Structure 1
Amino acid sequence: MQAVTFDGHGGTGVIDYRTVPEPDLGADDVLVDVRAGALNHLDVWTRRGMPGIDLSMPHVPGSDAAGVVSAVGASVTRFEPGDRVAVLAGVSCGQCEFCRHGEPALCASFRVLGEHVPGVHSERAAVPADNLIAVPEHVDWETAAAAPLVFQTAWRMLNTRADVSPGESVLVLGASGGVGHAAVQIAAHAGAEVFATASTEQKLQYAAELGADHVVNYTETNFADEIRARTGKRGVDVVVDHVGEATWDDSLRSLAKGGRLVTCGATTGGRPETNVQRVFWNQLDILGSTMATPGEADAALEHVWDGTFDVRIRDVLPMRETARAHELLENREGFGKVVVKPDNELD
């Protein structure tokens, strides 16, 4: 079968689309004929060589995909051939104290498909049954592939970790990206007043269409100064920051007293300086968040499947052009998710 691979870390030139062995199907696994995959910034960092992660090469990337079940392992009862499914990328042990209490992302052996272990950007993928969710017939493959990781992540950030209430104000940074465009919609759905940042007028327009009440072009003005000016120097109740080092100080400056900063990533670097005096004097909460529990993922994706949330897709490419897909993310071209489809799905 054909799969996206890389043999070493580096620029987009390390990416190849080539023949690899068929996946082994374990007793608890489901073999999925992949109809579409989707990229996340996680794929870029993994390809570059994320510190602390030692991959077996060649590595198949990809944390998001959707397709049709073609075979099931001997112990699988939830799915059968012909079922439509999408991938939930987090793999945990299922037995430790965190897994038993419904927090698998805190599991000491937590791994992510495509990041720590082989991913799903291939013609076929063997995926643990626990990492699949059913996809209704009316949902197209591009949407099913693009939604899971970002919508479950943003759902947990806003509804569980930040516990956003109706009438509160939320600032979403990088509203044109996967997590960002999901967070705008989830915050609006929660009844919040939504502020969103992006780098172009077109991206700001898209953010407004998805539910942002106020938009800020961060290339033209300092977003923290703008937020404070628009809120009468009060600030917002919640900031969603997945950017990291480049925005961290301004994110803290954007918060009202008693506000919450929730973060799921750091695309510009993970070691920012923190004004600790601002944190304790303003009694701010800094909340980390990773992916979601199965129940949170189900809740988020139900809203995708029924059309409440809109999955914006900036481009659909054949898997042989995955290098170009990475460039779209790295260069911040467009609004929403980038989808790749196996070449045999485009014939």
Structure 2
Amino acid sequence: MKVQQIKEFGAPDVFHAADIEPRTPGPRQIRVRQMASSVNPVDTKLRAAGPPIAPALPAVLGCDVAGVVDSVGEGVRAFQVGDEVYGCATGVVGHDGAYGEYAVVDAAFMAAKPKNMDWRQTAALPLVTITAWEALVDRAGVRPGDHVLVHGGTGGVGHIAVQLAKTLGARVATTVSTTEKADIAERLGADDIIYYTDEAVADYVTRVTGGRGFDVVFDATGGSDIAKSFEAARVNGQVVTIVSQYEADLSPMHTKSLSLHVVLMLTAMLNGIDPGHHGEILTKAAHLVDTGELEPLLDTTRFSLADVAEAHRRLESGKAVGKIVIDIATA
């Protein structure tokens, strides 16, 4: 099978085309003929720096899987050959990558593909949807009537978080930088738009919440200024972030009695903990897709499997709006 492989860590040009033998699925695994995948910030970090969670070299990266079951391992009951599936089940140490024509994955991480979406849309969903779900549902426990602030409401995780919070019955505010992104955020369901480059935190907390603060603040940007999230949260509020690999002053949490949650959705894959929960999340997400309550935002630039390096450059440029998808096969 054709793959995009790396033999060293570094800039996007470390990717090169290779032909390798497809692996036979083991117990509780399935092999998926890939229709599409996507690029996530974690993929670029693994490629660039090779942190401890990176797969051994030579490596195939890519976390998001979307395709047709090609082979089924012993003990698999949920899927059979020919099923259309999706999931985030690859691309880290101990697991195959998704930038190839086939991927062997643990069946528990997978779910049936949404009926009302094409392969490109489906491939954009897994990692970002699981991340947003773990943040808002599993950790923060967002309830009807909560006022939720999503930092970066048109980003990969953020645009899913805005929609998910709405399905949970929350009022949703989000930060954007341009009118174009504001229009997108409103289309996704955001109730309150905040231009973070033009308005101080204290000012938008007063304007949007009457000075009370937000019940839940979700930093979906992976930035390094958690202080803004603490400032925006109400007393006894909750803050969730997807990045905590930096030093920060946590003392503002004390005066407000805040709760802080850190979400890395790859934890289940890295530690073999409750993989079935990810399958459950994606099954519920597929229902939201099919009822018109959830849809991915796709960047307009298109890439094939041969263009993975360019797709990584596109993401790192900061110019993408929505998820970057890799087309791998035709129907």
What's the TM-score once normalised by structure 1's chain length?
A: 0.85
| AA at the equivalent of 1:345 | T
1:115 aligns to what?
92
1:176: Cα distance to partner?
1.7
- Mapping of 1:227-306 within 5 angstroms? 227-265=205-243, 270-276=245-251, 278-291=252-265, 293-306=278-291
1:136: Cα distance to partner?
4.6
| AA at the equivalent of 1:289 | V
1:185: Cα distance to partner?
0.5
Which of 315, 318, 324 is equivalent to 1:329? Answer: 315
Question: CA contact under 8 A between 1:65 and 1:146: conserved in structure 2?
Answer: no
Give the number of equivalent residue pairs. 318
1:339 aligns to what?
325
1:339: Cα distance to partner?
0.5
**Structure 2 CA distance for partners of 1:50 and 1:224, relative to 1, 3 Å:** farther
1:250: Cα distance to partner?
0.8
Instruction: State the Cα deviation string for residues 167-198 of structure 1 (Å, max 9, x = none).
Output: 22111011121110000001112221211112
Instruction: State the Cα deviation string for residues 298-318 of structure 1 (Å, max 9, x = none).
Output: 222321233211111113311
Say if 2:140 is the partner of 1:155.
no
1:103 aligns to what?
none
Instruction: State the Cα deviation string for residues 144-179 of structure 1 (Å, max 9, x = none).
Output: 211122112212211221111222211101112111
In structure 1, how many angstroms separate the alpha carbons of the residues matched to 2:219 and 2:18?
36
- Mapping of 1:88-237 within 5 angstroms? 88-89=88-89, 113-116=90-93, 117-223=95-201, 225-237=203-215
Question: CA contact under 8 A between 2:46 and 2:54: conserved in structure 1?
Answer: no
1:76 aligns to what?
76
In structure 1, how many angstroms separate the alpha carbons of the residues matched to 2:82 and 2:315?
33
2:297 aligns to what?
312
| AA at the equivalent of 2:102 | R
1:293: Cα distance to partner?
4.2
Question: CA contact under 8 A between 1:206 and 1:335: conserved in structure 2?
Answer: no
| AA at the equivalent of 1:188 | K
In structure 2, how many angstroms separate the alpha carbons of the residues matched to 1:249 and 1:54?
30
Question: CA contact under 8 A between 2:205 and 2:213: conserved in structure 1?
Answer: yes
**Structure 2 CA distance for partners of 1:199 and 1:71, relative to 1, 3 Å:** same
1:95 aligns to what?
none
Q: Which runs of 5 or more structure 1 residues have no equivalent in the other structure?
A: 90-112
RMSD of aligned alpha carbons: 2.1
Question: CA contact under 8 A between 2:158 and 2:221: conserved in structure 1?
Answer: no
In structure 2, how many angstroms separate the alpha carbons of the residues matched to 1:326 and 1:223?
32
Instruction: State the Cα deviation string for residues 212-247 of structure 1 (Å, max 9, x = none).
Output: 111122233344543344323222111111334532
1:329: Cα distance to partner?
1.9
Mean Cα deviation higher: 194-203 or 179-188: 194-203
In structure 2, how many angstroms separate the alpha carbons of the residues matched to 1:248 and 1:209?
27
In structure 2, how many angstroms separate the alpha carbons of the residues matched to 1:136 and 1:214?
29
Question: CA contact under 8 A between 2:114 and 2:289: conserved in structure 1?
Answer: no
1:334: Cα distance to partner?
3.1
**Structure 2 CA distance for partners of 1:231 and 1:317, relative to 1, 3 Å:** same
**Structure 2 CA distance for partners of 1:40 and 1:175, relative to 1, 3 Å:** same
Q: Which runs of 5 or more structure 2 residues have no equivalent in the other structure?
A: 266-276
| AA at the equivalent of 1:272 | E
What's the TM-score once normalised by structure 2's chain length?
A: 0.89
Instruction: State the Cα deviation string for residues 100-136 of structure 1 (Å, max 9, x = none).
Output: xxxxxxxxxxxxx212233112111111222221125
In structure 1, how many angstroms separate the alpha carbons of the residues matched to 2:51 and 2:32?
30
Mean Cα deviation higher: 131-140 or 249-258: 131-140
**Structure 2 CA distance for partners of 1:295 and 1:78, relative to 1, 3 Å:** closer
| AA at the equivalent of 1:305 | D
**Structure 2 CA distance for partners of 1:264 and 1:76, relative to 1, 3 Å:** same
In structure 2, how many angstroms separate the alpha carbons of the residues matched to 1:11 and 1:281?
43
- Mapping of 1:1-80 within 5 angstroms? 1-53=1-53, 55-80=55-80
Question: CA contact under 8 A between 1:66 and 1:141: conserved in structure 2?
Answer: yes
In structure 1, how many angstroms separate the alpha carbons of the residues matched to 2:226 and 2:183?
25
- Of all paired residues, the percent bearing the same amino acid is 33
Please give the secondary structure, in 1, of the residue aligned with 2:35.
strand
Please give the secondary structure, in 2, of the residue aligned with 1:75.
coil
